[in-house]
Amino acid sequence: MKWKKFTLETTTDAVDYLGSMFDDIGIEGMEIEDNVPLTESETKGMFIDILPELPPDDGTARVSFYLDEDEDTEEKLKAVREGLEEIRQFVNIGTAKITESETDDKDWINNWKQYFKPFTVDHILIKPTWEEIPEEHKDKLLIQIDPGTAFGTGKHETTQLCIRQLEKYVKPGVKVLDLGTGSGILGIAALKLGAEYVFGTDLDENAITAVHENLAANDIPEEKFGVIQGNIIDDKATQDAAGYECYDIVVANILADIIIMIQKQVPFHLKKGGIFISSGIIDMKEQAVREALEANEAFEIIEVTRQGEWVSFTARKK
Ligand SMILES: C[S@@+](CC[C@H](N)C(=O)[O-])C[C@H]1O[C@@H](n2cnc3c(N)ncnc32)[C@H](O)[C@@H]1O
């Protein structure tokens, strides 16, 4: 589908009003560029390690919206301009200059799919659900994935670090807790490697749908993989749903800062002697995670693995 991109120069005070005006006239979605610092909870909700340095907030904002090439652009822009005049009555909307900055052919939701091709991690073949099995990999252990809008194609170094540790520690019949399950790729890998049952949690509601779809794609019965939206760090309902001291392995591929918090809770869910595989740790945060694990009397670190700039710690519950 072809889209036309329009960018409006405005103020941060006007942004909320613009959103509601766009809704009213049927423009779906908008992109906001401003220099307003993120709040602590916004930062926590983002999957990034290092925040970019922003120039000071000068109260200006650039708001972009997209119109389908086939719709009547002039009519929509007229409605936008009328809406702007109404908003101008009660809030400073800045210059309100609109520029058509780009015409592009994009399908943002699906474009990434052309770059997701089958690949192997040791003897495991990970392939998108829509691709054929390459002839030369017919003998591999197959995992089929469509992450949808959740995280986890398996391509990321942090996921591969976890898969390799799962290959090492999953024995037939084990129970696995997959924290930050995303597409469910790690839980599915564990089941394919012989695990009896997986329980997954994620903050992202899209993960729940993705896990169900990927279970179906891999012919895995739903009862083998329970999944809920929730935060095991501080939510008692999520902790109860996961259950206590019943897992042989806990795997968590999340950010270093989250691993530091989550490792305090993990021993309550692991059996004695159980294994905690943690990943998502950028090398500059390795020492901080190491210190947290060493300070946790329940754990002894048994292995540190690396891929690129990413680090994974494997610890055993004493
Ligand atoms: C890097 S992705 C990992 C996805 C998948 N497990 C993989 O290895 O490819 C991290 C996931 O953790 C989730 N997440 C972040 N904080 C979390 C928390 N406190 N509890 C559960 N999930 C969390 C994110 O929503 C995201 O889906």
- CATH number, domain of 194, equals 3.40.50.150
Mind spelling out the 3-state secondary structure of the chain? CEEEEEEEEEEHHHHHHHHHHHHHHCCCCCEEEECCCCCHHHHHHCCCCCCCCCCCCCCEEEEEEEEECCCCHHHHHHHHHHHHHHHHCCCCCCCCCEEEEEEEECCCCCHHHHHCCCEEECCEEEEECCCCCCHHHCCCEEEEECCCCCCCCCCCHHHHHHHHHHHHHCCCCCEEEEECCCCCHHHHHHHHCCCCEEEEEECCHHHHHHHHHHHHHCCCCHHHEEEEECCCCCCHHHHHHHCCCCEEEEEEECCHHHHHHHCCCHHHCEEEEEEEEEEEEEHHHHHHHHHHHHHCCCEEEEEEEEECCEEEEEEEEC
Q: Which two tokens stand for residue 192?
A: 């394919």
Give the separation between CA 165 and CA 72, rounded to whole angstroms.
Answer: 55
pLDDT recorded at residue 150? 75
CA-wise closest residue to 25 among 94, 97, 77, 95: 77
Report phi then psi at 213, rounded to 5.
Answer: -65, -40
83 φ/ψ sector (left φ>0, alpha ψ -120 to 50, else beta): alpha
pLDDT recorded at residue 42? 66
Q: Which two tokens stand for residue 86?
A: 């109404």
Final residue in a domain of this structure, among 77, 105, 133: 105
How many domains are there within the chain?
2
Examine residue 126 and state whether it is found in any structural domain, yes or no: no
Give the pLDDT mean for 157-163: 96
Q: Whole domain around residue 79: which residue ranges? A: 2-105
Give the pLDDT mean for 264-278: 98
Give the separation between CA 73 and CA 78, rounded to whole angstroms.
Answer: 8
pLDDT recorded at residue 48? 59
Give the pLDDT mean for 61-88: 90
pLDDT recorded at residue 189? 98
- CATH number, domain of 7, equals 3.30.70.120
For the chain, percent of residues with pLDDT exceeding 90: 73
First to last CA, the chain: 56
Complex ipTM over 0.95: yes
Residue 67's pLDDT band (boundaries 50, 70, 90)? confident
Residue with tokens 């392995």: 249
Residue 43's pLDDT band (boundaries 50, 70, 90)? low
168 and 303 in a single domain? The answer is yes
Of 91-105, 113-127, 139-153, the one with minimum mean pLDDT is: 91-105
163 and 277 in a single domain? The answer is yes
pLDDT recorded at residue 237? 98
Predicted confidence (pLDDT) at residue 105 exceeds the cutoff of 60: no
162 and 255 in a single domain? The answer is yes
Residue 116's pLDDT band (boundaries 50, 70, 90)? confident
169 and 299 in a single domain? The answer is yes
89 and 168 in a single domain? The answer is no
Final residue in a domain of this structure, among 105, 128, 163: 105
| Centroid of ligand 1 to alpha carbon of 125 (angstroms) | 22
159 and 293 in a single domain? The answer is yes
Final residue in a domain of this structure, among 37, 72, 105: 105
Letter for the amino acid at 286? E
Examine residue 127 and state whether it is found in any structural domain, yes or no: no
Give 23 or 10, the one with higher predicted confidence. Answer: 10
Examine residue 137 and state whether it is found in any structural domain, yes or no: no
28 and 92 in a single domain? The answer is yes
| Centroid of ligand 1 to alpha carbon of 37 (angstroms) | 24
pLDDT recorded at residue 102? 63
* HSE-up of residue 81 (Cα within 13 Å, Cβ side): 9
Q: Which two tokens stand for residue 168?
A: 């090492």
Give the pLDDT mean for 250-264: 96
Give 185 or 57, the one with higher predicted confidence. Answer: 185
Average pLDDT, the chain: 91
Of 88-92, 167-171, 269-273, the one with minimum mean pLDDT is: 88-92
165 and 99 in a single domain? The answer is no
Pocket of ligand 1, candidates 158, 198, 202, 227: which has the most ligand atoms within 8 Å of its Cβ, to mutate? 202
Give the separation between CA 28 and CA 82, rounded to whole angstroms.
Answer: 18
Predicted confidence (pLDDT) at residue 222 exceeds the cutoff of 80: yes
159 and 270 in a single domain? The answer is yes
187 and 298 in a single domain? The answer is yes
Of 42-51, 156-165, 241-250, the one with minimum mean pLDDT is: 42-51
Pocket of ligand 1, candidates 151, 153, 231, 257: which has the most ligand atoms within 8 Å of its Cβ, to mutate? 151
Atom 18 of ligand 1: nearest residue by CA position: 231
| Centroid of ligand 1 to alpha carbon of 181 (angstroms) | 6
200 and 99 in a single domain? The answer is no
